Structure 1
Amino acid sequence: MEKICVAVRVRPPSCEKSEDELHWKVENNSVSLHDGVHNSPIPGMSFAFDHVFDKDINNATVYDLLVKNIIQAAAEGFDGAIVAYGQTGSGKTFTMKGIIPRAVEDLFHDIQQMNVMFEFQIRVCCMQIYNEHIIDLLAEDNNQNLETAYRFWRGPYVRGLKEEIVNNVNQVLGLFQKASGRSVDLAHTLFVMIIESNPKCTYSSSGSTSDAVGRLSVLNLVDLAGSKRTAETQAEEEGEHTDKSLMVLSDVINKLSEGGKQRVHIPYCDSKLTYILQHALGGNAKTSIICTIAPEKTHIEETKGTLQFASRAKNVTNCVKVNEASSEGKLLDEVFKKQEVQSPCS
């Protein structure tokens, strides 16, 4: 059992603030709202997490503390997820663009260290969830509405999503750049790497070849859409759908954070986002959630909401395990694939 790692990152202020304003103060691994006049914390507005990064912390430090170990685990067969959550303009995309290239480089480095014993295949896909439609950002025509499905060997996935086989860092980063150029605002972006490995040769104690056990891990790198007030966006309907999926995500986290005290239904299927990420949220993945906040006085309510979400998320526990299957298990999965049904979320 392993708790989700939760961190908060405070972006630099967009303008100078006067000394008499409210402000957020970072101290050790906590962040609190202070009265600028008396320089004292406001009751009920202090929050503690695994890590809290002030405005001077760079992407390399964030990566080393939150992501590096998850990338190594993904090469070893563990599912992993890095999720950036926060209001619009608080630094989510900036953070993910600093994390993804480092993650790709480390993944290929780790695989190179293991390729004496294992053969690897890495596939990359990228999607956006926009207005509850799943759009393939690597397909030639990305105006799509793909369906979700489930496979024994893979878990939740998107049927028909294009998966590109990649052999080096440059190929992956090229696909990431392509997907980034086709992305839209008010959408959740998921950059996904599927890492499959099989032993090159496995022997039993008698010296004969035994049933080889393969591994398959799914690494989700997620830049969630930020929340916007309806009056601030021209796309009211799309904004409502984005808010709905974020509300479902919050509801899922709320129920999971209860820690099993109540046997309640977890509404993964109330949105496509939470259905796809269900292994990362209370499942078998190693997960880090990076919550980004804006320090300005005008954003206090949005920042408070983000910190409350983060406080609940740090109580969520995953049952982390390697995804292994024998060759026989993979064969059965191929049989079941022909009988798979559309998920309740489609």
Structure 2
Amino acid sequence: MEIYNEEINDLLAVENQRLQIHEHLERGVFVAGLKEEIVSDAEQILKLLDSGEVNRHFGETNINVHSSRSHTIFRMVIESRGKENSSTDAIRVSVFNLVDLAGSERIAKTGAGGVRLTEGKYINKSLMILGNVINKLSESSKLRPHIPYRDSKLTRILQPALGGNAKTCIICTIAPEEHHIEESKGTLQFASRAKRITNCAQVNEILTDAALLKRQKSEIEELRMKLEGSHAEVLEQEILKLSNQMLKYELESERLKTQLEEERRKQKEQEQCIKDQQLKIENLNNLVTNSDFKTNKSEFKKEARWAMQCQ
């Protein structure tokens, strides 16, 4: 693809112009609508590079007869796996971006006008934003402010490569002539800031069920080998000690549980006895207050004896 005047065009299919940038949870940042080709060797890749280069915007200025008027990005999605047991190995996925940036221009030196002047303005603006992003990324993570990736389509597309899970290589070129010393100085300052950026690249893998099962079996075998090593006896003693402690805790827990149930049973019996006593006491009060006390004397004695026994 090329970024020409802040518009994204497909160089493999010239009818695909003004494409939009999207972001997906799995794919990350990508340009929708780009033509994709499946390749298997370097020769096919070089042919695609040549065919895309033909469709790129070029122009003539006072400095360069064949000046590139756009930024170009050639993106390859690479999938790989082991040669042996390829059906059960994890697939490693990486994205390889080849980026050719148009050079910064001074209008006084290029003598650009009309269309060339407009192109130069867009080129300088995107390069300035790229330099600003590089400058922000080179600062300490604690002091790092908001990074303006979205200010330019170039930095937005290259966001994963600049400050994400990636390894980045930047080649900066300068002109040897003395009258280009200001541009050369700016380029070297840009390179110096870029060297201070620290990324943390990680391997991206797609694990199938078979690959995941194979990896888990391998981890189990490694653990088994460690157990069978020189520290096996120590580990077994530790495991035995922990097992005995666990058994001891279980027995103590069972004993406490039985004791608690016995206490609850006794408390329940005591409460029931108290209820029965209260009922008998009420009956005795009724007998005492009854006018025919002598007639119920024997029954009164029986109730009193029962209450004393319960107590």
Q: Normalising by structure 1, what TM-score?
A: 0.53
Q: Which residue of 2 aligns with 1:201?
A: 87
Separation in 2 of the partners of 1:321 and 1:254?
24
CA gap of 1:298–1:263, structure 2 versus 1, over 3 A, is closer
Separation in 2 of the partners of 1:280 and 1:140?
26
Asked whether the 8 Å contact 2:14–2:55 carries over to 1, the reply is no
Q: Which residue of 1 aligns with 2:169?
A: 288
Give the Å deviation of 1:313: 0.5
Q: Which residue of 2 aligns with 1:139?
A: 13
Helix, strand or coil: the match of 1:293? coil
Q: Which residue of 2 aligns with 1:174?
A: 47
Pairing partner for 1:230 from 107, 111, 114: 107
Q: What amino acid maps onto 2:91 in structure 1?
A: G
Q: What amino acid maps onto 2:79 in structure 1?
A: E
Q: Which residue of 2 aligns with 1:5?
A: none
The equivalences for 1:7-22 within 5 A come to: none
Q: Which residue of 2 aligns with 1:39?
A: none
Separation in 1 of the partners of 2:165 and 2:141?
16
Are 2:75 and 1:192 aligned? yes
Asked whether the 8 Å contact 1:130–1:238 carries over to 2, the reply is yes
Helix, strand or coil: the match of 1:194? strand
Cα deviations by residue, 1:175-223 (Å, 9 ceiling, x for unpaired): 1111111111221011111112356232xxxxxxxxx633221101111
Give the aligned CA root-mean-square deviation in angstroms: 1.7
Which structure has more relative contact order (CA 8 Å, sep 6+)? It is 1
Helix, strand or coil: the match of 1:172? helix
Pairing partner for 1:149 from 15, 19, 22: 22
Q: Which residue of 2 aligns with 1:36?
A: none
Cα deviations by residue, 1:83-138 (Å, 9 ceiling, x for unpaired): xxxxxxxxxxxxxxxxxxxxxxxxxxxxxxxxxxxxxxxxxxxx100111011000
Bigger Rg over Cα: 2
Separation in 1 of the partners of 2:24 and 2:48?
25
Asked whether the 8 Å contact 2:11–2:56 carries over to 1, the reply is yes
Q: What amino acid maps onto 1:319 in structure 2?
A: C
Q: What amino acid maps onto 2:32 in structure 1?
A: R
Q: Which residue of 2 aligns with 1:67?
A: none
Separation in 2 of the partners of 1:192 and 1:218?
7
Give the Å deviation of 1:316: 0.4
Q: What amino acid maps onto 1:262 in structure 2?
A: L
Give the Å deviation of 1:154: 2.2
Separation in 1 of the partners of 2:144 and 2:134?
14
Give the Å deviation of 1:250: 0.4
Separation in 2 of the partners of 1:213 and 1:293?
43
Q: Which residue of 1 aligns with 2:4?
A: 130
Asked whether the 8 Å contact 1:213–1:326 carries over to 2, the reply is yes
Separation in 1 of the partners of 2:56 and 2:128?
22
Identity %: 58
Separation in 2 of the partners of 1:317 and 1:169?
31
Give the Å deviation of 1:140: 4.2
Pairing partner for 1:274 from 155, 170, 181: 155
Give the Å deviation of 1:263: 3.6
Give the Å deviation of 1:300: 0.1
Q: What amino acid maps onto 2:124 in structure 1?
A: D
Q: Which has the higher strand share?
A: 1
Separation in 1 of the partners of 2:187 and 2:14?
36
Separation in 1 of the partners of 2:159 and 2:139?
16
Are 2:96 and 1:219 aligned? yes
Separation in 1 of the partners of 2:26 and 2:94?
10
Q: Which has the higher helix share?
A: 2
Separation in 2 of the partners of 1:230 and 1:321?
43
Helix, strand or coil: the match of 2:193? helix
Separation in 2 of the partners of 1:134 and 1:254?
25
Q: What amino acid maps onto 1:312 in structure 2?
A: R
Q: Which residue of 2 aligns with 1:260?
A: 141
Asked whether the 8 Å contact 1:131–1:242 carries over to 2, the reply is yes
Q: What amino acid maps onto 2:146 in structure 1?
A: H
Cα deviations by residue, 1:272-328 (Å, 9 ceiling, x for unpaired): 111111121121111111110111101000000000000100000111111123348
Separation in 2 of the partners of 1:137 and 1:286?
25
Q: Which residue of 2 aligns with 1:159?
A: 32
Asked whether the 8 Å contact 2:136–2:144 carries over to 1, the reply is no
